[in-house]
Amino acid sequence: MTTPTDKDLRALALAATPGPWRAHNKDASKEEFWVDGPRCLNMHFDQEAAGFGFRDAAFIAAANPQTVIGLLDRIEAGKRERDKWMSLAGDLRSQLEEAKAALKPFVTEDTIRFLETTTMLDVRTVSIDVTVGDLRRAKAGGTDA
């Protein structure tokens, strides 16, 4: 048996009897457990014959269609959020490379090595407002920068 994809699971959940599902033991004197739902879904588990127990019936009841669809929705939302952050990281990486290229003529190789080995920058508290003219004046020894 192959593992179903998220799309397969959603299709199965949408086609299944909706919940809520319940697990119970109709006759405490027997090793028989049931899962039933609103459209008279009845699944019978005979522990001796199939090796099932109440824990299995309770798990199957908890994994009803609404639960599966809810979990799939959360997975999809998480993927969208991850993609958003990955896109932002790519944009920031591009901006960093552009900034490094623009600054390269105005800084020493030692400064570039230091900046490249710096691993943490809190961008929430740092603001850089420097023009190319400011850098040229600073490089020339001007006092305006």
pLDDT confidence of residue 145: 41
pLDDT of residue 114: 74
CA–CA separation, 66 and 115 (whole Å): 51
Instruction: State if pTM tops 0.75.
Output: no
pLDDT at residue 129 in the model: 54
Which tokens in the block code for residue 20?
């809520």
Q: In what order do the strands lie in the sheet with 22-24?
A: 22-24, 32-36, 42-46
Series of mean pLDDT values for 10-residue runs along the chain (145 residues): 88 85 66 61 59 73 90 96 94 88 78 68 52 64 53
C-alpha to C-alpha distances, 120 to 41, 88, 97, 107, 142, nearest whole angstrom: 57, 17, 16, 20, 31
Task: For residue 134, give every residue at least 6 positions away whose Cβ sits within 8 Å of its Cβ, in sequence order, or none.
Answer: 144, 145
Q: How far is CA 78 from CA 7, 12, 130, in A?
A: 16, 21, 38
Three-class secondary structure of residue 30 per DSSP: coil
DSSP designation for 4: P
Q: Which pLDDT score is estimated for 11?
A: 95
Q: Each residue of 22-39: b (16+ CB within 10 Å) or e?
A: ebebeeeeeebbbbbbee
Question: What separation in angstroms does the CA of 142 have from each of 7, 94, 127?
Answer: 64, 31, 22
